[in-house]
Structure 1
C-alpha cells in the first residue's frame, strides 16, 4: 500500500573529514524536514504517504507528444537562456488569459528549470548580503534556504490559524526595517492552502510601494483555487497599483499541468530583473531543457480540460479531509481554500508535531509532514497532501484520527 514516490531516495549521511573545511554559508542552510519524512517512510513497510507534494496525474498525452515530436525534429540544442521565443509567447498569452496581466515575452519573461530555481534566481537578484526578507511562516522550505544562500536574513512573520493562515498586512508592516528588501508572497499557500484576498494583497502592495520593497510572488498553485470560476486564478499582488514594476512572479507548470518531473516554469518580472536573472542562469545551467519547453508550449496553448478536471478532483478529496476530521475532539483543521494540502492542528493530543508524525508513522504506518518543517510557526501542526488516491487518503485519515484520539 506504499505510495511514496519511487524516485525519492534516502541521502546517505557521510561524515566530513575534520581537516577539510565546508562553507559556513552552506552549513547554515537547513536540510528540508520534508526530506526527513520521506527518508523515514522509505525505511518502513506498507506506508500510506500523505506527504508527497505533487499531483497524482501525469502530463496529458498531447503534452508528452509535443516533447516527443520536438525530439524527432531535432530540437535538442541549447536554447536562448531566457527560453525559446514560442515558450515565452505562450507564457505571456497564458498569463494574459488567466491572470489578466500583460508581460512582454521579449524582455519580461524567462524560462526556468522549475519553481525552486526560479525562487533562487529572483532572491539572488534583489537581495544582497545583510538584507532582510520577510517570510510569512509557516512557509515552503526553499524560501529561507535561498535567502540564507544569498547572504540575506529571513524574517519570519507568523501566519495565524485564527485568520485562516492568510497574509496580514499589519503584521507584515510591523516587521519592516530599513534593511527589508523583499517579501515573499505565496497564495495559494504551502503548507496551509490559504488564499489571500485581492484586498489584503492591495494593503501589502501599499507597504511595498511606501517602503520600496520587492514582492517575490510564488504562484505555482495559482490554478488550484476552489472559489474561482473555471480557468480563473488566485489573485496576484502584481495586479495591485504600482506593483508590476516591483514584483517578480515565480510560476511553474508542475502543479497546473502535472509536470513535476519536467522541471519547467517561468519568471515574470521587470526587464531590469530579467536581464540579471538571465545572466545568473547562464552561469548556472546554460539553458533550460529544450524538450520541456516544447511540452510547456503545448500545455499552455492546448486543451485545458485536464486542469479543471484535477481541480474538481482536489475539491472532492478536500471534502474527504473535512468529513473525516469533522467533530474530532483533539484535531482542528485550517480549512484549505486552494492547493492540495491540509494543515491540521494536533496540539490537542499533547504531542508536538514531530513526535506526532513519528509515532503516527511507527504505529499506524501513515506519513505526514510535521509543521516545524515549515518554520517554527508550524509547531503543533502537521501537513498532509490530498493529491493522491482517494481510498488511500480516506484510510490514512481514519488511521490518523484513531491515533490522535487514542493519544
Structure 2
C-alpha cells in the first residue's frame, strides 16, 4: 500500500509521470536500460533528463519477454535505472512473477532503481489472466526501489482526459512533486472527478471491456495465423505483433503497401526498436466488425505477397540452375 499524502501523485497522463520520474532520478551520464521493442517515448524521455539509453533486445522465441540475464549482461558502473513496461506496447507480452523475481535479484545486487509503466495492467488474458498481474512493487525487495506508473486511458477508456498517477517512496515523490508544481501545477480537475467515478462505479464495465478485447484478440491472432503470418500469443494490452517476413517485404514496405492497396493501417515493428524488424503492430482497439474486415483484407494482401515471394524464389532458382 502507498500513503496517498506522501507517496502518490496525480499527473497529466502517464506521459507526465514518465518525464517527472526521469528528471527526478536521472542525471547527466547516468545509464538506463530499456527493453525493446518499446513505446517510442521512453528513450527520448531519458535523453531529455541527460541520461544515456541502452536498449535491451527481446526475441519472439521468448515471446518478447526480457529476462534477468538479458538485463544483467548490459549493466555497467553507470547503470542507475531499469525501465520495464509490461504488459507491452507494441508486442502484448506479459512477464510472469517468477521472471520479475529473478529481475528483482539483479536490481538488488546492483543497487538499481526500477521505473515500471503498468498502464495496461487490467487488460490481460488467457494464462496471464489466470496467473494474475504482478504489480512490480508488490515484490518486497522492490517496494522501495520502484517508481510505479499508471493511468486511466486504457482500462477505463479515458484516452484524452489525461489522468495518470505515480506511486513512489516519499523522497522520490517529493522530488517529483516539486517538478510537477513548476511544470504543470495539476491534472485537470474535471478529469480527476471522472477518474474517481470510474474507480467507484465502473469495475463491471472494465471487466466487460476486457472480455470484449479478449474476443477481438482471439479473432485477430487466429486471423493472422490463418493468413500465413506467424503470430505469438499476446497476453496483454490490445496489440498483436505478427511476423511478416514470409511475404518478402520489410516492415515498412508491408505497412505502406497494405495501407495503399487494402486501406488497412498497421505500424512497422521496427518503429519500436530493432527487435521489431520483420513484424508489424496491429491494434484491436476497434470494433469486432472492423477487425473481421481487416483480417479479410490482410489475408488477401498476404496471399498476393506470398505468391510473389514464391515466384521470385522460383526465378532465382532458374537463374542459378
What TM-score results when the alignment is normalised by the length of structure 1? 0.73
Query: Is the contact made by 1:224 and 1:233 (CA closer than 8 Å) also made in structure 2?
Result: no
- Alignment partner of 1:318 is 2:223: no
* Cα offset, 1:233, TM superposition: 5.4
Paired residue for 1:297, among 156, 172, 196? Answer: 196
Higher RCO, 1 vs 2 (CA within 8 Å, ≥6 residues apart) = 1
Aligned to 1:364: 262
**Mapping of 1:19-38 within 5 angstroms?**
none
- Alignment partner of 1:337 is 2:243: no
- Alignment partner of 1:178 is 2:69: no
Aligned to 1:92: none
Task: Decide which structure has greater helix share.
Answer: 2
CA deviations over 1:237-267 (Å, ceiling 9, x no partner) = 2122310101000000110110011100110
**Mapping of 1:4-403 within 5 angstroms?**
102-227=1-126, 234-329=133-228, 331-403=229-301
In the aligned structure 2, how far is the partner of 1:302 from the partner of 1:134?
38
CA deviations over 1:36-82 (Å, ceiling 9, x no partner) = xxxxxxxxxxxxxxxxxxxxxxxxxxxxxxxxxxxxxxxxxxxxxxx
* Cα offset, 1:116, TM superposition: 1.1
* Cα offset, 1:291, TM superposition: 1.3
Paired residue secondary structure (1:332): coil
Aligned to 1:42: none
Runs of 5+ consecutive residues of structure 2 not aligned to the other structure: 306-321
CA deviations over 1:295-324 (Å, ceiling 9, x no partner) = 111111223111000000011001111221
In the aligned structure 2, how far is the partner of 1:180 from the partner of 1:276?
20
Change (3 A) 1:124 1:232: farther
* Cα offset, 1:276, TM superposition: 0.5
What TM-score results when the alignment is normalised by the length of structure 2? 0.92
In the aligned structure 2, how far is the partner of 1:398 from the partner of 1:171?
38
In the aligned structure 1, how far is the partner of 2:78 from the partner of 2:225?
44
In the aligned structure 2, how far is the partner of 1:229 from the partner of 1:206?
22
Paired residue secondary structure (1:215): strand
Aligned to 1:35: none
- Alignment partner of 1:406 is 2:298: no
CA deviations over 1:78-103 (Å, ceiling 9, x no partner) = xxxxxxxxxxxxxxxxxxxxxxxx11
Runs of 5+ consecutive residues of structure 1 not aligned to the other structure: 1-101
Query: Is the contact made by 1:135 and 1:144 (CA closer than 8 Å) also made in structure 2?
Result: yes
Paired residue secondary structure (2:240): strand
Query: Is the contact made by 1:248 and 1:268 (CA closer than 8 Å) also made in structure 2?
Result: yes
In the aligned structure 2, how far is the partner of 1:270 from the partner of 1:175?
26
In the aligned structure 1, how far is the partner of 2:127 from the partner of 2:56?
27
In the aligned structure 2, how far is the partner of 1:230 from the partner of 1:178?
37
* Cα offset, 1:229, TM superposition: 9.4
* Cα offset, 1:327, TM superposition: 3.6
